[in-house]
Structure 1
Amino acid sequence: MTERFIRGLARAKWAILLGWLAITAASMLLLPDLAAIVRQTEQKFVPADSESVVAKNLLERINPETTTKSSAILVYSRAGGMTDRDRAWLKAKAAELAALSGKDGFKSVQSAYETPELASKFRSKDGTTEMLIVGFTGTDNDAITQDAVDSLNERIKGAPGGSKVELTGSAPIGKDFQESSSEGLQKTELLTVGLVLVILLIVFRSPVAPFIPLVTIGLSLVITRGLVAAATHFGMPVSSFTESFLIAVMFGAGTDYCILLIQRFREEMSHDGDKVEALARTARSVGKTVAFSASTVFVAFFLIGFAQFGLYQSAVGVAIGVAVTLVAALTLTPALLLIFGKATFWPTRIAGGQGHGESRLWSAMASLAARRPVAIIVVTAILLAPLTLLYHNKRSFDDLAEISPSHGSVQGFRQVERSFGSGEVFPLSIAITSSASMRDPAALAVMETASANVAKLSGVKEVRSAVRPLGAQLPDLTVSDQLTKTSEALQQLKDGVDKVAGGLQDAETSISGGQGDVDKLTSGLRTMASKAKEAQRGLDQIHGGLQQASKGADRLAGGLKQSASVSDSMSADIKALLKAHPELLREAAMQQLVGKQKGLSDGLKQLQGGADQLTSSFTQLNPGVAGVASGLGQLATGQTDAADGTAKLGSGLTELTNGLDSGAKGLRDVSSGLTQVKEAEQSIGDSQIPGWNLPASALDSPELKQALDYYISKDGKTAKIDVVLAVNPYSEEALRTVDQVREALRHSLGGSSLKDAKVYVSGTSAQITELKAISKNDFLRTGGFVLIGIFIVLMIMLRSILAPLYLLLSLVFNFLVTMGIVEFIFVRLLGKEGLSWSASFFIFLIIVALGVDYSIFLMARFKEEYKPGGVRLAMAKAMSTTGGVIVSAAIIMGGTFAALMMSGVNTLLQIGAGIVIGLILYAFVFMGLVVPALANLFGEANWYFFRRSKK
């Protein structure tokens, strides 16, 4: 800032003020609302190529018509158990919400009333709690989803007395977090302004001077909010932390810059009372200090933009705020000082030679640091180093810890946790992709094996998949169930075989009686042949015998027909049996029975031929009885033929009897074999050997089709598995279980027909595992960038390499001490599981970026006062004149961040506490003792490199 520039400011001071007011008004009217954008922004910022995001995108393709992007769980409970009235109200509410599907952000409703077969999933075993799951078309932070949650909150009012109804799930929890952050931000703004005003009144002892920083920072904040909101359209991320840090950093750092300018202006005004000249001297002396101080903060927050993690990147908006604040501090603040002049410090009068005074305390510390630099460094290290050992980097990823337990989403979650288990609210959803279709029996068998292996893990409560839609094996597809049904079928088959065997026994008895008749007929015919000569003497007797023989032949023909009918019936039964159970053909007994049956058929054909011949003979004998006397030779021949025919008939009947014996025996063997199969099945069932089998025909069953459509895409190349955890999804046990689930799935698929399949895990616990790794790696990476950037700025400003090194080392050491104290307070004393996962990063960033300001204040004055060989004197002068400014700046900065502790958001509470501790510790211990001791210890070596380079 040159003298010409200051004189130009003096002439245009009112124009500058009006210009800033105009820009502020335009920003409010024309630029977007940052708060509205933050409300609709995803707060976890998981990278788009992360596993959980890829999994979520894949799962949405399985069934887009039914897939929801966020959800709410309506939790209805009654301590003494739900009544019929409760269920009637809940059933009516489920129907009411189901009617909203496709309207106003609502998409689906799942309940015991919509899907009765899943009633056990929605009703607790103790009968005290029931759930409805409402799906939304938008993500948690979409405006339409938040409006739907508001509508849902209104619709659940008026429940029966004595009951309790709460909303939990991803959408209500996200909404409560946003509202808590917004309410906390409002508290922070009011507390910050109030604290800064009180501190400034104490520092300046004037009611006028405090309004210069407040106006400067207030206008800068309004403009910055609009610029940051506009920058989001170009891809800059924002979060709930963005506004909080903007307020804290701009009021803290901006007020510090204003204090530095005002205090120096007051000191220069005491020389001659000329405000223009005083301002010009102020600009020449501390203008660069303010510029470099703001530059370190700007560089630190600007480099955050190179972080890979979106939540960390969301702090880059502070860099815009610091830039606007710097411009305002170098234009608006000087214009206001010129406008108010001496009235700035009213009612205090500035007498000639009266500056802001020197601090006796800081003069004493400067003297001590000059006399005993080594002792100070050693004692400080001994006292503070043990505190760093308290820091174990214990981090918590519990989103519910960010919200007050009084919020309905937290109370609803706790009720589900008590009645169903916390894993029901945030299950793992796993996407499996394969180049081949998974809608076939072999792939589904692999899916069952994988599901069973995951279900065995200690941290898993239940696994739901295409083959386990209700969380357990489908009974129809288990080997034990199939064996039971096979046993029943075999018993029926055995009963049928026994009946056939009985029928064959009856047939055998009947045929045995026919055999006796044939034997008698054969004997009679042979007797007739031997006594043909006597036939002439008994023609009448022969005629009567022939008539009886003819009747016997008729009876024989009838018996043969009956035997043929039995044989045909038996053949048909055997064929039907073999058709129903082709596996019986492999039995030796059945093969023998089939062979016997064929012989039986052939024998009956021969019998039928003999019967026909016998009938023909009798037909010839009866009409020729009148010529018997002349044809006795023919009669003898006919009788002989008849005897041969009947002999053949007897042989056929014998074969038939033997065939029936073999058939009966074969069927008895089959019956015995079926009994053995049934006993074997019973033995397998008793041994309780697990098994699973999917017949190809089962794929056509309506139940399995419904499960396949829900869990597997139409092309079969993407499948879904839901895993309900047995532990809190935010806990360390859950994070370990995620890795175990992923490993179990990959191992199960690796040695199967799906060995080339890929596994992607999503869900709250899966996202946390990614956040844990991403945030840790980005902390180290981005933290390194910040330190390097600040080192370069300090090196340019101080013209030194050594001084920036020990300044940064002191800041890092101060950070470790601070984190040890903070972790001890919140984890050891207050019993937290760990510090909020993002707290350590932001504490580091702000302590380093803002703490270095105090180093710049001190070292810039030190360099200004330095003369070769006068390191101790220069440091003493710098400390005595800037000590008060450093203390005031630290108190103001600490105060602005202390306001975050009242926000009601756990992370901001921890960040605020850490920054207050860290800045106060750094201002008094490190800036008051350690840094001066180091500067005195190294002496002229502070500028060794630059002095040699000049030579």
Structure 2
Amino acid sequence: MKKFAERHVGALIAWIVVVLAAVLLMPNTSALVTKYGQTKIPSSAQSQVANTIQNHWGHGKNNTRQVVVVFSNGNDKLTATQKRRINATINRLRRNKGHYQIKSMLSAQDNAQARAQLVSKDRTTELLQLNMSKHQGVRVQAANVKKAAKTAGVKTYVTGSDILNDNFQQSTEEGIKKTEIIAAIFIFVVLVLVFRSPVVPLISLVTVGVAMLASLSVVMNLVQYLGFPLSSFTQVFMVVVLFGVGTDYNILMYDQFKEELSGGLSAVDATRKARRIAGHTILFSGSSILIGFTALALAKFSIYQSAVGVAVGVAVLLAVLLTLNPFFMATLGKKMFWPTKNFTGGSRSRLWRFLSKNAVLRPLLGILLVGLVSLPFLLTYNNHLNYDTLAELSDSLPAKQGFFVVQDHFSKGTAEPSTLYIKTNNKKLDQEKYLKIIDRVTRKLQAKDGVKTVASATQPGGSRVSALYAKNQLQTVTKGSTKVHRGLGTINSGLLSAKNQIANSNMQSGLNGVTQLITGTNKLIAGTNSLQSGTKTLASGASTLAGGVTTLANGAQTVNSGTRSLANGASTLSNGATTLSTGAGTLASKTTVLASGANSINNAVGQLNAAVAGSANQMAQLSRAQTAMANMQSQMSALQKQLGNTSNLNAELSSMSTMLGQLADSEDNINSLVNALNGTGDLTNTINTLKTALGTVGSNDVKAEVANVQMIAAAKTIANDASASVASKEAAQKIITTAQTSSSSYLAPNISTLTGLNSKVSGMSTLASQANSLKSVASALPSKDKIKAIQAQIAGLQKMLSSVNSLMSEGQQLSAMSSQLGQVGSQMTALQTNLKKLQTATSSLASGSNALSGGANTLANGAATLATGAGTLTNGANTLATGTGSLASGATTLANGSTTLANGATTLNNNVPALTSGLLQVNAGQKTMYTSLQGVVGQMQQLQNGLGSASDGLNTISKGVAQSNSYLTGLRKSAAADEFYIPTKTLHSKTFKPAIKQYMSADKHATQLTIVLGYNPSSAKAMAEVKAIKKEVQSELKGTALDGATVAIGGQTATIADTHDIASSDFVRTAVIMLIGIGLALMFITRSILQPLYILGTLVLAYFTSLSITRWVSGAFLGEKMLTWNTPFFAFVMLIALGVDYSIFLMMKYREFGADGERPSVNIVRASEVIGAVVLSAALILGGTFAALMPSGVLTLIQVALAVIIGLIILVLIIPILIPAAIHLTYDRGKLSDDDTKEEDE
């Protein structure tokens, strides 16, 4: 049992249990670092205030991380195919938002503003912004999005601040693994070289490994259950400190144990004594480190606090070294140093003896030399640090490459924009007065040199919306008011002119014109009655003609048996010709009546035109007084409807012209027939009679068609008259339908039949024997020149009808324009012009009717001549015999056509009553117009007075408009007009709603401005710009409706700026606390006040010098001219906490030798010689351990390793100079000679 206790077996068992428990209870280190290891900034910092606002933003933006997908084609523009593939990728992500935990996304396809922000100017790169939930780990999310975003033919990157931070964590974790392996191998090799034994290195690694495993488990459980500070650097610095310091302490312990064994002590006694002597030093030294790292718990910055984990590791390390090491020493004894058999005691350092000896001999010179060597590095020291996380990462990482692609093709700040938040407690910011302030802030920031773009609720695309600024709005107003002023002047002039013209006008003449128009219409109605009588006669003549033609056919058939039958047929033909002559005379008299009616209409239109011309200018002004003009507009509309639409007459006139042409052709055929039928005089008279009858019937058909069209127009006028009764409109519609059916079913087929009959009569020209008789008949028909004259008259009538149609269109326009006050004058002018056209057209109609009447008289004369030639036909009966065969065939065909003609004439007669009814409707409308005009005449005086009052009012208004326009023009040109103004309708419109949703919180109490800086987001310029922006915004809000609102800036730059401020201030604070704590420990250890000051001064000098050299080495060999922002802190902590060990080693040995009564200078030289070997070995191992950080690839770890290694080298060189020199100057002022140190030299 005694051996069990002496050999510390219980300690071994206890630590085995501890290790097993540590392994079993070890949490997931990587998960804890991911969850708790991020930099924590105090909640009062602006970036954290901004985060708080964002987390309460609504719209699903709380607990959201931003991810950017980068699509790039290098330095070449994206092709159409690549764009299609990119769009397909974006659509795929959009469809599977839930699967990838995407809350929202913004792409270039969304809108023009997004396209301007997300597509580079060189068209080589396109971005996709994703807002993703934080409920899933960033590493898993990044991998999923990267896989989904991969696009064929396009370089695709997934980046973002969280992804870059996770990459940094991964790099750190991988660096820790490399460091542990490299450190273990290095320590093993160095210890083998120092102790010349493979056993000692293994024991040292085991003890340190146990301490590392146990302490790491303790720290991670404290993190998991008690919220212990943690960062990505906690574990890695625990590794290097525990392996480095633990190995140093082991060297001290094993070296003392070896020295005691060399004195002949047993393994147990040597263990006990070595633990007492070396353990005392280890405990004091470890305590100072423990105090230094524990002091970091008082830091406010999470990164600095996270180093407290090293203190836990040191505490466990001390426990392991002072309990587990004795087991191995007592159990193995000298076997620990196998195969070494030489135990002559501890080694000595000649370097430290030389430096310390010369330092005490020439203390001032030694101090001066150290100062001179350090001075250049101290003078070149600067505190410009690199806060760019990207610098920590390898250039081969895709996320870093994507970030650089964004910076190369967009503004450097595009990848990490800043977000400015303005938050109020109870004000809803979606109001015009608040939006105006927000826009003012937006424009203020856009004017800053370091700002690339600013987007806000008022400028969602990052540029002004000109329509929402008073200057643009005032420009529209002033232009409109200028036009109004001019228009008022024009209206006023028109009103005065109208007033004067109304005073001089005679509306009675217009009423007289309407009376004449009514009279003319009555005559036209009488003419239609006569037309009906004429059509009856025409039908009777057509029937007689049909009988004569039948007789002719029979006679032609009988002529073969004798001339008597021919004579009878000729007599019958003579009777038919007489009847035809009578019908032609009747038609001529009726066309004269028609011409008279047309003349009456023409006169009435002329008088109406004269009356309207007298009041045209007056009516031009009446439009400005809409109430007074209401009745006049109604009457003008009624007049337009009375005119009707005469477009259908054109077709009928064209048909008439065609029939006259056929008549001319028939004359040619008759002449040809005369030449072929010489000697058949009686037959010639018959043919001429038929020819004349056909022409007369055709002319009647044309006239009937014209009357039919007029009847349709009149009926349409009634149907379109708003004042007409429903029954009248229905009757008018029936008239229209009946007339149109008559035209298409009867008149048109009649014309076609007549054309066919003419052709067939012309085919009888082979009867050459009838030439002489046919010549006399042909001479009685209208000549071609007369026919052409009639056709010319028809053409004129067509032009007249075109003018009537144009006039009707003008009338419709006049009705529409009557409601437009500023344009009545021009419309009345148009009415006057169109009335003149109507007068011209009616004149043409009267002229054409007269010419048509003359043609009818000519046809009647020709028919009389045909009748007198009937006797001649009888005398030529004998000569007819030679052509009776052909005549019989033609007569039969002609008989059939005559029957058809008789039927058509009867139908025409039946349709005339409908025409008469239509004219009666027209007459009623004219009477209504007369009554309306009588009412207008009575209102003229009242209107004249109203125009005078209106003119006076317009003068007043015009002056006011001119004054306001002058003021508004001046205002528009002033700086005051350069203000945002949004109308309420626009504010709540669908167009503006997306901007409100994007840039305002759900409760509208907060708004955000997205700021893209022109600098690298992590640069010092960017941080300074963010601070300046916050101050400017706060200043801009003072004295406004948003005075006192919370202003905070979020984003990478703001976070870095806060980190810079907090890290800088907390660094100084923490360093002072650490130095005070270590200084107090040193006072307790050295029992002196000055000695701790010498030690701390030496450490601080080594720190600043090492940092300056590290900066130079980093720039020369690593390409990074600045130190990372956390390098100075960690270098300080490591150098001060670890470097104090060597000073404590030295001072403890110095106190040990002081018991011999020697001079202080001699004691410090002896202590330096003895402890120097231990320090050099320890520094070598500690430096090598930190060198293991370099392969990690993390810039901070590399620079910290460089600073510690360089600092250790400096400490190893200046501790034996400065401390002995200071000891000599303080405690031993007597002169020291070389003889005083001979004992140590030997």
TM-score, normalised via structure 2 length: 0.62
1:374 aligns with 2:662: no
**Counterpart check, 1:242 vs 2:234:** yes
Aligned residues: 820
* 2:233 counterpart SS class: helix
Separation (CA, whole Å) in 2 of partners of 1:933 and 1:7: 48
Separation in structure 2 between the aligned mates of residue 571 and residue 253 of structure 1, nearest angstrom: 104
Q: Does residue 80 in structure 1 map to residue 80 in structure 2?
A: no
Q: How does 1:521-532 map to 2 (within 5 A)?
A: none
CA contact (8 A) 1:97 1:109 kept: no
- Deviation for aligned residue 1:659: 4.8
SS across alignment from 1:423:
coil
In the alignment, is the contact (CA less than 8 A) between 1:107 and 1:136 conserved in 2? yes
Change (3 A) 1:361 1:825: closer
Question: 1:699 and 1:690 mapped to 2: Cα distance?
Answer: 19
CA contact (8 A) 1:390 1:824 kept: no
**Residue in 2 aligned with 1:639?**
none
One-letter amino acid of the structure 1 residue matched with residue 306 of structure 2: S
> Which residue number corresponds to residue 420 of structure 1?
410
Determine if contact 1:149/1:171 at 8 Å carries over to the other structure.
no
Q: For residue 48 of structure 1, what is the aligned residue in structure 2?
A: 43
User: Are residues 11 and 906 of structure 1, via their aligned partners in 2, closer, same or farther at CA, if it must alter by over 3 Å?
Assistant: closer
Provide the secondary structure at the position in 2 that maps to 1:240. Answer: coil
Whether contact under 8 Å (2:1000, 2:1006) holds in the other structure is yes
How far off is 1:479 after superposition?
2.4
For residues 462 and 855 of structure 1, the distance between their equivalents in structure 2, rounded to whole angstroms, comes to 56
Q: Residues 108-146 of structure 1, C-alpha deviation per residue, up to 9 Å, x if partnerless?
A: 2210124455211111121100000111111xxx75232
**1:770-785 correspondence to structure 2 within 5 Å:** 770-785=1058-1073
Work out whether 1:338 is the aligned partner of 2:327: no
Going from structure 1 to structure 2, the CA distance change for 1:574 and 1:422 (only over 3 Å counts) comes to farther
Instruction: Describe how 1:181-196 pairs up with structure 2 within 5 A.
Output: 181-196=172-187
After superposition, what is the alpha-carbon deviation per residue over 1:457-512, rounded to whole angstroms, capped at 9, x for unaligned? 11111111111111122233122432454367558867976886687478536523
Asked if the contact 1:465–1:721 (Cα under 8 Å) also holds between the matched residues in 2, the reply is: yes
Distance 2:629 2:328 in 1: 114
* Aligned residue in 1 for 2:1108: 820
Which residue of the partner structure matches residue 120 of structure 1? 116
Verify the 8 A CA contact 2:499 2:618 in the aligned structure 1.
no
1:720 CA drift (Å): 1.5
User: Is 2:491–2:624's contact at 8 Å kept on the other side of the alignment?
Assistant: no
Offset at residue 699 of structure 1 (A): 1.9
Partner of 1:921: 1210
Deviation at 1:382, TM superposition (A): 2.4
2:1047 paired residue among 756, 759, 762? 759
Cα displacement (A) at 1:99:
2.7
- Give the match for residue 1168 of structure 2: 879
Q: Are 2:628 and 2:943, in contact at CA under 8 Å, matched by a contact in 1?
A: no
Q: Distance in 2 between matches of 1:312 and 1:573?
A: 91
Q: 1:223 to 1:661 in 2, by over 3 A?
A: same
Residue 324 of structure 1 and its aligned partner are, at CA, apart by: 0.8
Q: Specify the alignment match of 2:693 in structure 1.
A: none
1:681 Cα deviation from its structure 2 partner: 7.4
Indicate conservation of the 8 Å contact 1:388/1:819, yes or no. no
Is 1:362 the counterpart of 2:381 in the alignment? no
CA distance in 1, matches of 2:190, 2:620: 119
Aligned residue in 2 for 1:739: 1027
* Contact 2:7–2:268 under 8 Å retained in 1: no
Residue 29 of structure 1 aligns to a residue whose secondary structure is helix
Change (3 A) 1:655 1:345: same
CA contact (8 A) 2:1111 2:1121 kept: no
Match status 1:130 vs 2:126: yes
Which residue of structure 2 lines up, in the alignment, with residue 804 of structure 1?
A: 1092
User: Match for 1:52: what amino acid?
Assistant: S
Correspondence list, 1:155-234, <5 A = 155-157=148-150, 159-161=151-153, 163-232=154-223, 233-234=225-226
Whichever residue aligns with residue 149 of structure 1, its letter is A
Within 5 A, what are the aligned runs for 1:503-652?
A: 504=495, 507-508=498-499, 511-514=502-505, 570=625, 572=627
* 1:209-237 residue CA offsets vs partner (Å, 9 max, x unmatched): 11111001111111111111111131212
Which of the numbers 452, 455, 472 marks the counterpart of 1:461? 452
Alignment partners' CA distance in 2, 1:269 and 1:855: 26
670-679 vs 720-729, greater mean Cα deviation: 670-679
CA distance change for structure 1 residues 422 and 488 in 2, over 3 Å: closer, same or farther?
A: same
Asked if structure 1 preserves the Cα contact closer than 8 Å seen for 2:37 and 2:230, the reply is no
Cα distance, 1:650 vs structure 2: 12
Cα distance change on mapping 1:574 and 1:437 into 2, 3 Å: farther
- SS at structure 1 position matched to 2:625: helix
Whole-angstrom CA distance in 1 between matches of 2:287 and 2:32: 28
CA distance in structure 1 between the partners assigned to 2:1079 and 2:1228 by the alignment: 20
The answer to whether the 8 Å contact 1:515/1:654 transfers is no
CA offsets 1:720-756 (integer angstroms, 9 cap, x no match): 1221112111112211211221122112211322222
Post-superposition Cα deviations, 1:511-554, rounded to whole Å, max 9, x if no partner, equal: 23446979xxxxxxxxxxxxxxxxxxxxxxxxxxxxxxxxxxxx
Show the counterpart of 1:660. 947
CA distance in 2 between partners of 1:929 and 1:505 (Å): 114
Shift of 1:816: 1.6
The one-letter amino acid paired with 2:115 is A
Deviation of 1:714 (Å) = 4.2
2:1188 counterpart SS class? helix
- Structure 1, 877-886 or 32-41: larger mean CA deviation: 32-41
Rate the CA distance shift 1:473–1:271 in 2: closer, same or farther, 3 A: same
Which runs of 5 or more structure 2 residues have no equivalent in the other structure?
510-610, 631-820, 822-935, 1231-1242
Q: Superposition RMSD on alpha carbons, in Å?
A: 3.5
Q: Distance in 2 between matches of 1:23 and 1:747?
A: 60
**What residue number does 1:302 align with?**
294
| Partner residue, 1:599 | none
**Aligned-partner SS, 1:775:** helix
3-state SS of paired residue (1:769)? helix
For residues 373 and 676 of structure 1, the distance between their equivalents in structure 2, rounded to whole angstroms, comes to: 94
The 1-side partners of 2:115 and 2:483 are apart by 36
Mapping of 1:10-29 within 5 angstroms? 10-13=6-9, 15-29=10-24
User: Which residue of the other structure, out of 387, 392, 397, is the alignment partner of 1:397?
Assistant: 387
SS of 1:358's equivalent? coil
Provide closer, same or farther for how the CA distance between residues 261 and 650 of structure 1 changes in structure 2, counting only shifts above 3 A.
closer
Name stretches of at least 5 consecutive residues in structure 1 with no aligned partner.
519-555, 576-592, 594-648, 943-951
Aligned to 1:903: 1192
Residue 23 of structure 1 aligns to which amino acid in structure 2?
Answer: V
**Which has the higher mean CA deviation after the structures are superposed, 99-108 or 374-383?**
99-108
Q: Tell me, what secondary structure is at the counterpart of 1:48?
A: coil
Question: Quick check: which has more Rg, 1 or 2?
Answer: 2
Distance change >3 Å, CA 674–CA 332, structure 1 → 2: same
- Contact 1:795-1:801 at 8 Å conserved across structures: yes
State the distance in 2 between where 1:265 and 1:63 align: 68
Contact 1:34 1:226 in 2 (8 A): no
1:68–1:135 CA contact under 8 A, matched in 2? no
Aligned equivalent of 2:1011: 723
In structure 1, the partner of 2:636 is none
Q: Hey, what's the Cα distance between the residues in 1 that align with 2:1201 and 2:226? A: 30
SS of 2:263's equivalent in the other structure is: helix
Query: 1:395 touches 1:833 (CA, 8 Å); kept in 2?
Result: no
Give the drift of 1:789: 1.0
Question: In 1, Cα distance between the equivalents of 2:1044 and 2:1133?
Answer: 44
Q: CA deviation at 1:665?
A: 7.3
Note the C-alpha offset of 1:404: 1.2
**Secondary structure of the corresponding residue to residue 1011 of structure 2:** strand
One-letter identity of the residue aligned with 1:334: P
Indicate the residue corresponding to 1:146 in structure 2: 139
**Would the aligned equivalents of 1:454 and 1:741 in 2 still touch at CA under 8 Å?**
yes
